[in-house]
């Protein structure tokens, strides 16, 4: 099969294979699946943040024509496992956060279900609640581990002494806001039971992980749960861990035997039911010498979790990787509040966790009079500072240099508030990005010859808008030594072999390694001229390199910010990022991911801000009218580039993930540019105009 004249498949930009179906509207998302005569479900949520359900009066709702049933804690079936309290729908009368589901109406149409849901009368014996996150709470606790299984605290050397001896020090607190995952497609499930098997058309980042969590909740053999998700309209992590709505959809389908049930969350419901990014408080202490060499780095991070389920954001973890310093400390403390369950949102940990430290570095660089690009270059470590492992590849300096060149950094005035253009203060800023190369175990793939020169590759991977349908087929074609057009990929269905979740930017590393192993097995067994029907498969191979090397992608982001002298209006006319992400499988798709991440970072910096109301315990601005997300007019020019990077250790393709790194560091670059424009240092996101007035 291998023909040296054949054009390489990796590194080219075939268009999305699913693009035409999406543009034509024929791609079926979870809510679009054709099922016979479905019923529709609408959820009723608690309007108190803490208490005990005293009664749910469903009389008026049930009396409405077209209502089939109303589920409540008084009549819902008992689940086999209520261990995951986020998923334990209707299993107790306790209300643990405002927005918790307390009833669900099944009706003939979506409209009737919604109308009836408004007629359900819920009485809650309220108890005092507490949703106030602060670093001075006396009930903060140290979780056993933080997200991703990382250590809660680390310490090296003597930070206090090093700070006392440093001629330049910084001790500041930075905060990031409550951000909500808002993929375009709301969380949607179509559920039906067929001879005791459960079929879920679910908007999920992992069909097999959804199968496994659902099977456990219902006490089913995993093989009896079929999850299908060929197209997913975004997730940003909110479809990566299981949430209660899909459990309720399956429960509802049980309540109306023989009838499939469709559930689509409303946008406001997504603000309490599908996870969100916890607000964080980050105290950063740095000390350096007159040349800008860091002697000490300490990051103490505080975040919130819910009372019913712990999620501990790994906010201080990226600081363990970024800069050299002999004395260092990181800690994580968590407050368990009467709030919805936080979870993954694009680059959990790295995204909020690179905000405080990357602004702090800018502040300290200014204090000691070293250019912020140069400051970062001077603090490059030889090995990963806290693990002592060599980097499989680390090209942060190349990103900083290439970014500075492309951006025109050399023309920058060193002092802030140096440039005014037609009433706008103009400034520029820089920040670094990093994201680990994650490899998730537990994938398998099969390859079958379906005709002369035709190959079917099956793996239960997900395409959440990232381009897996295309990029993973490229990996397969490359490994088989055939043309892209010769490969048909089958993903998004538990009928294919098990795949890990599309999370942690681990997709191409994990699924790609698996597909490459399957292609190798196939070629070993059948050579380059297989007969029709020849089939082979493989599981994801073990990987020792992960123990030997620290594997991370890096990047440098540059921002131009304009702040209006009179109104304080903040604009970001230009963002430029240069990334080191290993080999790029598909430049068109990779650029889309990086630009998308940077755009989301801009949105985080300027607009997004879930505002909790302590009196009632919810995010008050829970819709698109009031939770602002950057629109086209807010995003004039975002450019993403990458440096050549050959990493022989990450995986057989030499790739690093591109899904999340784009959002890491953007907000810090914008805050640093805003300071350069105005001389005002913003330490609390978002960067709103009142900071400058």
240 binding ligand MOS? (CB under 6 A)? yes
> How far apart, in whole angstroms, are the C-alpha atoms of residue 216 and residue 240?
17
Output 231 or 346, the one with its CB closest to ligand MOS: 346
Span of 40-48, 252-260, 267-275, 338-346 interacting with ligand MOS by CB under 6 A: 338-346
662 binding ligand MOS? (CB under 6 A)? no
Q: Give me the least distance between CB of 505 and ligand MOS, in Å please.
A: 7
Q: Which residues pair with 202 in a beta bridge?
A: 189
Q: Which two structure tokens, joined as six digits, stand for 462?
A: 């997900």
User: Is the C-alpha dihedral spanning 279, 281, 286, 292 positive or negative?
Assistant: positive
340 binding ligand MOS? (CB under 6 A)? no
Q: Give me the least distance between CB of 80 and ligand MOS, in Å please.
A: 27
| DSSP assignment letter at 582 | B
Q: What are the angstrom distances between the C-alpha of 190 and each of 247, 260, 498?
A: 11, 7, 21
> How far apart, in whole angstroms, are the C-alpha atoms of residue 657 and residue 482?
24
Do the Cβ atoms of 202 and 227 come closer than 8 Å? Answer: yes
Residue 547: how many CA atoms within 13 Å on its side-chain side?
Answer: 3
Output 146 or 572, the one with its CB closest to ligand MOS: 146
The H or E element containing residue 573 is: strand 570-580
Span of 231-239, 379-387, 441-449, 518-526 interacting with ligand MOS by CB under 6 A: 231-239
Site for ligand MOS in 63-122 (CB under 6 A): none
Among 168, 179, 323, 344, binds ligand MOS (CB under 6 A): 344
Among 50, 346, 376, 378, binds ligand MOS (CB under 6 A): 346
> How far apart, in whole angstroms, are the C-alpha atoms of residue 665 and residue 372?
14
Output 205 or 305, the one with its CB closest to ligand MOS: 205
> How far apart, in whole angstroms, are the C-alpha atoms of residue 516 and residue 499?
14
Neighbours of 221 (CB within 10 A): 8
504 binding ligand MOS? (CB under 6 A)? yes
Surface-to-core class of residue 434, CB atoms within 10 Å of its CB (0-12 exposed, 13-18 middle, 19+ buried): buried
Q: Give me the least distance between CB of 489 and ligand MOS, in Å please.
A: 20
Output 348 or 356, the one with its CB closest to ligand MOS: 348
Q: Give me the least distance between CB of 347 and ligand MOS, in Å please.
A: 6
Residue 352: how many CA atoms within 13 Å on its side-chain side?
Answer: 32
Span of 58-66, 344-352, 518-526, 578-586 interacting with ligand MOS by CB under 6 A: 344-352
Among 503, 512, 555, 597, binds ligand MOS (CB under 6 A): 503
Output 193 or 311, the one with its CB closest to ligand MOS: 311
**Beta-strand (E) ranges in 322-481?**
327-337, 420-421, 424-436, 444-451, 454-458
Span of 339-347, 389-397, 415-423, 609-617 interacting with ligand MOS by CB under 6 A: 339-347
Span of 1-9, 94-102, 340-348, 575-583 interacting with ligand MOS by CB under 6 A: 340-348
Closest CA to 550 of 318, 349, 348, 356: 318
> How far apart, in whole angstroms, are the C-alpha atoms of residue 467 and residue 254?
35
Q: Give me the least distance between CB of 164 and ligand MOS, in Å please.
A: 39
Q: Which two structure tokens, joined as six digits, stand for 357?
A: 């430290």
Q: Which strands, in side-by-side order, build the sheet including 487-490?
A: 487-490, 454-458, 444-451, 535-539
Closest CA to 678 of 413, 427, 377: 427
Site for ligand MOS in 174-213 (CB under 6 A): 205
Q: Give me the least distance between CB of 154 and ligand MOS, in Å please.
A: 22
Q: Give me the least distance between CB of 109 and ligand MOS, in Å please.
A: 33
Using Cβ positions, the residue closest to ligand MOS within the complex turns out to be: 237
Output 304 or 327, the one with its CB closest to ligand MOS: 304
- The catalytic residues are 660
> How far apart, in whole angstroms, are the C-alpha atoms of residue 68 and residue 88?
22
Closest CA to 290 of 168, 374, 415: 168
Output 346 or 618, the one with its CB closest to ligand MOS: 346
Output 238 or 470, the one with its CB closest to ligand MOS: 238
Closest CA to 393 of 663, 581, 665, 593: 581
Output 504 or 652, the one with its CB closest to ligand MOS: 504
Output 166 or 305, the one with its CB closest to ligand MOS: 305
Output 534 or 629, the one with its CB closest to ligand MOS: 629
| DSSP assignment letter at 49 | S
Say how many residues make up the chain. Answer: 693
Q: Give me the least distance between CB of 179 and ligand MOS, in Å please.
A: 11
Q: Give me the least distance between CB of 346 and ligand MOS, in Å please.
A: 5
237 binding ligand MOS? (CB under 6 A)? yes
Q: Give me the least distance between CB of 501 and ligand MOS, in Å please.
A: 8
Q: Give me the least distance between CB of 181 and ligand MOS, in Å please.
A: 8
- Number of residues engaging ligand MOS in binding (CB under 6 A): 12
Q: Which two structure tokens, joined as six digits, stand for 313?
A: 């954001």
> How far apart, in whole angstroms, are the C-alpha atoms of residue 305 and residue 131?
10
Output 233 or 617, the one with its CB closest to ligand MOS: 233
Q: Give me the least distance between CB of 344 and ligand MOS, in Å please.
A: 4
Surface-to-core class of residue 679, CB atoms within 10 Å of its CB (0-12 exposed, 13-18 middle, 19+ buried): middle
Do the Cβ atoms of 60 and 70 come closer than 8 Å? Answer: no
311 binding ligand MOS? (CB under 6 A)? no
Span of 229-237, 353-361, 632-640, 646-654 interacting with ligand MOS by CB under 6 A: 229-237
Span of 58-66, 151-159, 342-350, 373-381 interacting with ligand MOS by CB under 6 A: 342-350
Among 38, 230, 348, 657, binds ligand MOS (CB under 6 A): 348
555 binding ligand MOS? (CB under 6 A)? no
User: Is the C-alpha dihedral spanning 95, 99, 101, 105 positive or negative?
Assistant: positive
Do the Cβ atoms of 664 and 601 come closer than 8 Å? Answer: yes
> How far apart, in whole angstroms, are the C-alpha atoms of residue 259 and residue 261?
6
Q: Estimate the crossing angle of helix 207-218 against helix 244-255, to 10 degrees.
A: 60
- Please report, to the nearest 10 degrees, the dihedral formed by the alpha carbons of residues 218, 220, 226, 228 taken in order: 30
Which x/- pattern over 403-442 shows residues binding ligand MOS (rule: CB under 6 A)?
Answer: ----------------------------------------
288 phi, psi to nearest 5 deg: -145, 165
Span of 235-243, 331-339, 491-499, 622-630 interacting with ligand MOS by CB under 6 A: 235-243
Q: Give me the least distance between CB of 659 and ligand MOS, in Å please.
A: 7
Output 259 or 278, the one with its CB closest to ligand MOS: 278
> How far apart, in whole angstroms, are the C-alpha atoms of residue 356 and residue 301?
10
Applying CB under 6 A, which residues contact ligand MOS? Answer: 205, 235-237, 240, 344-346, 348, 503-504, 660
């Amino acid at each position: 099969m291998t023909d040296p004249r054949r054009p390489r498949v990796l590194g080219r930009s075939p268009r999305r294979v699913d693009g035409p179906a999406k543009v034509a509207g024929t791609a079926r998302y979870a809510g679009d699946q054709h099922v016979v005569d479905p019923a529709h479900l609408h959820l009723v949520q608690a309007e108190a943040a803490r208490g005990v359900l005293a009664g749910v009066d469903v009389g008026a709702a049930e009396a409405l024509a077209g209502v089939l049933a109303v589920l409540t804690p008084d009549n819902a079936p008992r689940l086999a496992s209520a261990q995951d309290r986020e998923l334990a729908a209707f299993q107790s009368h306790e209300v643990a956060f405002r927005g918790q589901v307390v009833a669900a109406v099944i009706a003939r149409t979506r409209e009737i279900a919604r109308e009836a849901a408004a007629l359900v009368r819920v009485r809650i014996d309220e108890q005092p609640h507490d949703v106030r996150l602060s670093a001075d709470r006396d009930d903060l606790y140290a979780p056993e581990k933080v997200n991703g299984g990382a250590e809660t605290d680390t310490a090296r050397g003597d930070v206090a002494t090093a700070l006392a001896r440093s001629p330049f020090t910084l001790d500041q607190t930075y905060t990031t806001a409550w951000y909500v995952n808002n993929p375009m497609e709301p969380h949607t499930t179509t559920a039906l039971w067929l001879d005791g098997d459960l079929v879920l058309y679910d908007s999920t980042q992992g069909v097999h992980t959804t199968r496994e969590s659902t099977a456990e909740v219902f006490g089913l053999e995993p093989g009896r749960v079929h999850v299908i998700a060929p197209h997913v309209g975004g997730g940003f992590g909110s479809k990566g861990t299981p949430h209660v709505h899909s459990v309720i959809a399956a429960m509802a389908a049980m309540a109306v035997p023989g009838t499939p049930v469709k559930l689509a969350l409303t946008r406001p419901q997504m603000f309490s039911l599908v996870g969100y990014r916890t607000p964080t408080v980050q105290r950063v202490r740095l000390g350096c010498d007159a040349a800008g060499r860091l002697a000490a780095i300490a990051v103490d991070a505080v975040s919130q979790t819910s009372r019913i389920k712990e999620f501990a954001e790994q906010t201080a973890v990226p600081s363990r990787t970024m800069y050299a310093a002999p004395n260092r400390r990181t800690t994580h403390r968590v407050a368990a509040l009467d709030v919805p369950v936080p979870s993954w949102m694009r680059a959990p940990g790295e995204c909020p966790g690179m905000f405080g430290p990357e602004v702090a570095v800018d502040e300290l660089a200014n204090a000691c009079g070293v250019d912020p690009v140069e400051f970062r270059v001077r603090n490059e470590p030889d090995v990963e500072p806290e693990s002592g492992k060599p980097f499989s590849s680390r090209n942060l300096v190349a990103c900083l240099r290439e970014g500075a060149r492309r951006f025109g950094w050399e023309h920058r005035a060193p002092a802030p508030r140096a440039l005014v253009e037609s009433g706008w203060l103009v400034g520029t800023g820089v920040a670094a990005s990093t994201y680990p190369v994650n490899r998730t175990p537990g994938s398998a793939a099969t390859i079958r010859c379906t005709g002369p020169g035709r190959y079917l590759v099956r793996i239960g991977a997900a395409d959440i808008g990232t381009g897996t349908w295309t990029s993973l087929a490229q990996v397969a074609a490359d490994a088989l030594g055939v043309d892209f057009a010769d490969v048909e990929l089958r993903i998004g269905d538990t009928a294919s072999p098990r795949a890990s979740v599309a999370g942690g930017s681990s997709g191409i590393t994990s699924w790609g390694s698996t597909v490459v192993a399957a292609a190798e097995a196939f070629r070993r067994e059948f050579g380059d001229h297989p007969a029709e029907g020849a089939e082979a498969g493989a599981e994801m191979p073990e990987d020792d390199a992960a123990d030997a090397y620290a594997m991370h992608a890096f990047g440098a982001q540059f921002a131009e910010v304009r702040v209006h002298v009179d109104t304080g209006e903040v604009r970001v006319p230009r963002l430029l990022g240069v990334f080191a992400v290993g080999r790029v499988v598909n430049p068109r798709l990779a650029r889309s991911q990086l630009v998308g991440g940077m755009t989301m970072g801009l949105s985080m910096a300027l607009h997004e801000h879930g505002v909790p109301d302590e009196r009632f315990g919810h995010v008050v601005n829970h819709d698109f009218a009031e939770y602002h997300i950057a629109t086209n007019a807010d995003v004039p020019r975002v450019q993403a580039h990458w440096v050549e990077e050959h990493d022989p250790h990450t995986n057989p393709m030499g790739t690093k993930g591109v899904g999340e790194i784009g959002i890491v560091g953007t907000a810090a670059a914008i805050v640093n540019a805003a300071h350069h424009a105005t001389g005002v240092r913003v330490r609390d996101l978002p960067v709103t105009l009142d900071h400058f007035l």
